[in-house]
Amino acid sequence: MRILLVEDESQLLNAYVKGLKQDGYAIDTASDGASAVELCEINTYDLVVLDINLPKLNGIEVLKQVRTLNKSVKIIIVSANRSIEQRIEGLDLGANDYLTKPFDFQELRARIRALLRRDFISQPKVLSINDFNIDLNLHQITYQGKMILLTLKEYTILTYLIQNRERIISSEELLEKCWNDEADPFSEAMRVHIYALRKKIQEATQRDDVIQTVKGVGYRFNP
């Protein structure tokens, strides 16, 4: 899942980035409205967190343009201004949720998860598929109760494959959803992660068909 954070207070921004990366999202950032819109023209985000009080381009205007560019992206508006009017206007213009500053980071986290949930097969914080058990809180994946120790990137990839296990995921999509802007599209890094993942999964499950390769198409989680 890929998220764009638009926020001009850089300190706040950094905190969000870190927190959300830990949840396995690929994060891009913009600190003003113009570059936010630019990024949305280039990339396809699943969700945008948009601070309404922005330099250069008014937040409401950014909201309109982003929504025009991408009808399905989820947008969470953040604002220090608690006037109800603005709140309504924001939702009318196509925002999906609204948060008033200051808010607890856990609150943001919960709402993001809630909004992205619809795209997933399963919604809760813990999903069980056959002998696999994924705890989204603990970043923990177990097989028959046995823990599979994964790095952050491995966890991100596997979670994405699992949450979209009804489809075959192309390398391009995996790259797009699990890496951010700076990722080199020609890099082989992803394959190395897949390899490491398979190794760890094989060790834990004695199976080596859990991540299937569909040549020329992509990868697929096979529970």
Partner DNA sequence: GCGTATATTAAGTTAATATTAAGCGAATTT
Partner DNA sequence: AAATTCGCTTAATATTAACTTAATATACGC
Binding site for DNA (CB under 7 A): 151-154, 171, 179, 183-184, 187-189, 191-195, 198, 213-218
Q: Which partner in DNA, its own copies, none is near 137 (CB below 5 to 8 A by kind)?
A: its own copies
Q: Which is nearer to its own copies, 95 or 174 (CB)?
A: 174
Q: Which partner in DNA, its own copies, none is near 187 (CB below 5 to 8 A by kind)?
A: DNA
User: For residue 123, what are the CA distances in angstroms to 46, 112, 157, 179?
Assistant: 16, 12, 18, 22
User: What is the contact surface with its own copies in residues (CB under 8 A)?
Assistant: 11, 15, 18-19, 21-22, 40-44, 68-70, 72, 80, 82, 100-107, 137-139, 151-152, 166-168, 170, 172-173, 176, 185, 214-218, 220
Write down the least CB distance from residue 213 to DNA, Å: 4
| Backbone dihedral angles phi then psi of residue 7, each to the nearest 5 degrees | -165, 130
Write down the least CB distance from residue 22 to its own copies, Å: 5
CA 25, CA 28: separation in Å to the nearest integer? Answer: 10
Q: Which partner in its own copies, DNA, none is near 139 (CB below 5 to 8 A by kind)?
A: its own copies
Write down the least CB distance from residue 128 to DNA, Å: 24
81-104 in b/e form (b: 16+ CB < 10 A) is: eeeeebbeebeeeebbbbbeeeee
Write down the least CB distance from residue 66 to its own copies, Å: 11
User: For residue 4, what are the CA distances in angstroms to 135, 149, 154, 195?
Assistant: 24, 29, 21, 29
Whether 39 and 215 have beta carbons less than 8 Å apart is answered as no
Q: Which is nearer to DNA, 37 or 158 (CB)?
A: 158
Write down the least CB distance from residue 170 to its own copies, Å: 6
Structure tokens at 192: 């190395």
Work out the burial of residue 42: count CB atoms within 10 Å of its CB; fewer than 13 is exposed, 13-18 middle, 19 or more buried. Answer: exposed
Q: Which is nearer to DNA, 28 or 97 (CB)?
A: 28
Structure-token match 């989820």, residue found: 74
- Give bridge partners of residue 75 from the DSSP assignment: 48
102 cis-preceded (ω within 30 degrees of 0): yes
Write down the least CB distance from residue 182 to DNA, Å: 8
Q: Which partner in its own copies, DNA, none is near 70 (CB below 5 to 8 A by kind)?
A: its own copies
